[in-house]
A and B are shown apart, each in its own frame.
Chain A
Amino acid sequence: MLCQKCQKRVANVQLTQIVNNSKNVVYLCEQCAREEGKFNVISPFSINDFFSGIMGFPYMASAPQQNQNVVCETCGMSYEEFKKTGKLGCPNCYNVHGDKLVPLLRRLHGNIQYNGKIPSRAYGSVKASREIEKLKQQLNVAIKNEEYEKAAILRDQIKSLESSNM
């Protein structure tokens, strides 16, 4: 089908307008559509746009203003720059921008509490804090069920783990 305006080029834009309940469909080529100004032809889809799309909006609304221009001191990356590329600059970026990344990480991964392998260097402390986390959950359950003797034991276990992990 040819463009209904210029009658020269192939029509590849279907423009549907609904005015006062009456529908009007026009078939235009990309150029005429652009000239008409009715159709904003979007440049080819890029992965970067995709990233800024999925991580930009919902967060921006709730972001506290003063944190907008924080830059990572190791590599100089700002959160704005990350939103464009979808890639972080260095490991320290996770310290600097970590809080802002949380909504994105939730969308990507669902549960965002790390549960995987622990490098042996960090093994002792990570293992202890995972253990503490587990005991705390058991403690809550015990309290809910009014199992106070059990709760007391759990509380003591948590205390001793916490003091040895200091």
Chain B
Amino acid sequence: MNEWYMQEGPESDVVMSTRVRIARNFNGIPFPSKMKKEDGQLIIKRVKEAVFGRSSAIGENFKFINIQELSPIKRQVLVEKHLISPNLAESRIESGAIISGEENISIMINEEDHLRIQCLSAGLQLNDTWNLCNKIDNLLEESIDYAFDEKFGYLTCCPTNLGTGIRTSVMLHLPALTMTGYIKGILEICSKLGIAVRGLYGENSEAAGNMYQVSNQVTLGLTEEEIISNINNIAKQIIDQERTIRKQLYTQNSFRFEDRIFRSLGLLSNARIITSEEGLKLLSDVRLGVDMGIITDIDIKKLNEILLLVQPASLQESVGGPLNPEERDIKRAETIRSKLK
């Protein structure tokens, strides 16, 4: 497999992935919430021409997906892979996505904005991910007249995206900061700096699986490079703190530390029923063990793959039909067991 999440990126002991997305709109056409059906069709047609047209250099590697034609489970699988937003999955209007073979580039069409260009990569790779996003943007711009204003920048449906339209996020695995409660202080500082931190999984503020998404709030007044370097700096500081505390916890009581990790591994390798929440928690422990060299026969790529496979829609897709919650928990346990063998 060549998918981006099957690669190992820089700082991957703490950083799971990097995401950059930019919002763009066609000039002179109402935003998706206000546009007519024909406008929606026209936009899809124009974006497809820009990507797959004869003058395009990238068409071969991409495929177009019509969201309306997908089953609810298939839509949800794309959400679980972070290829489309939950918003787009629920779309009732003409909408689509153009996705690259490695699944690292996704162009969402008629989400909240006409275009959402998103690039993903493993580990901490903000500059490269932004450069890729920028390239796709330049390519589309050759044939699309974007809504742009000298004073406000790129015009977006929601004023929170106005200007650069950029949202950069890094997904961090922070078990030690969470365990010790230091994460609270970090959350406070970030919110003062205009940086949002939220749990990657789960609906409550509690971050399931100790995974957090750190992203910029401000999109206007700064350059893309400034926004990216802010996130980069914050991420690096959080990474350093997480590593320090991991080491401290381990030296304080290495038996207890290792015991916790191997217990979790034992459960994952043997349990017959695992709920989503429990799975995330145990996988977090095992990931910590792998990151710290305590577990040596499992690699991070395998854990990334498991993390993806055990989400509700992906489980249901693997058996080719709907599963009730209990059936899902059984299938989840089975999938994890077979992957860890």
Chain A residues proximal to chain B, CB less than 8 Å: 74-77, 86-92, 94-95, 98, 101, 104-105, 108-122, 125-126, 129
Contacts and interface: CB of A to CB of B under 8 A. Distances in A.
A105 B220 contact: yes
B218 A109 contact: yes
Contact of A109 (B33, B166, B219): B219
A119 B33 CA distance: 25
Interface in B14-71: 25, 27-31, 33-34
Nearest to B219: A109
Contacts of B148: 118-119, 121-122
A163 to B, nearest CB: 18
Task: Please provide the 5 A-B residue pairs with the shortest distance between their CB atoms, ordered closest to farther.
Answer: A111-B221, A91-B147, A114-B153, A116-B164, A90-B30
Contacts of B137: 117
Contacts of B138: 120
B221 A113 contact: yes
Contact of A115 (B25, B30, B134, B222): B222
Nearest to A116: B164
25 contacts: A86-B158, A87-B33, A88-B31, A88-B159, A90-B29, A90-B31, A91-B29, A91-B147, A94-B152, A104-B159, A105-B159, A109-B163, A111-B222, A112-B221, A114-B149, A114-B163, A114-B221, A115-B221, A116-B153, A116-B222, A117-B224, A121-B141, A121-B146, A122-B150, A129-B150
B224 A121 contact: no
B151 A113 contact: yes
A108 B164 contact: no
B217 to A, nearest CB: 8
Interface string B126-153: 0000000010011001000111111111
Interface residues of B, number: 42
A101 B159 contact: yes
A125 to B, nearest CB: 8
B184 to A, nearest CB: 22
Interface string B230-262: 000000000000000000000000000000000
Nearest to A89: B34
B157 A115 contact: no
B160 interface: yes
A94 B163 contact: no
A115 B218 CA distance: 12
B313 to A, nearest CB: 25
Nearest to B160: A108
B154 to A, nearest CB: 8
A71 to B, nearest CB: 12
Nearest to A129: B150
A129 B152 CA distance: 14
B174 to A, nearest CB: 27
B34 to A, nearest CB: 4
Contacts of A101: 159
Contacts of B157: 87-88
Nearest to A85: B33
A75 B30 contact: yes
B112 interface: yes
A90 B157 CA distance: 7
B223 interface: yes
A115 B141 CA distance: 19
Contact of B134 (A87, A113, A117): A117
A94 B220 contact: no
Nearest to B164: A116
B34 A75 contact: yes
A54 to B, nearest CB: 11
A126 B151 CA distance: 9
Interface in B159-176: 159-160, 162-164, 166
B155 interface: yes
A116 B224 contact: yes
Contact of B34 (A77, A114, A126): A77
Contacts of B159: 86, 88, 101, 104-105, 108
B223 A91 contact: no
A98 B153 CA distance: 12
Nearest to A101: B159
A114 B224 contact: no
A105 B33 CA distance: 21
A89 B33 contact: yes
B265 to A, nearest CB: 41
A148 to B, nearest CB: 31
A33 B164 CA distance: 48
A114 B220 contact: yes
B150 A74 contact: no
A162 to B, nearest CB: 15
A62 to B, nearest CB: 19
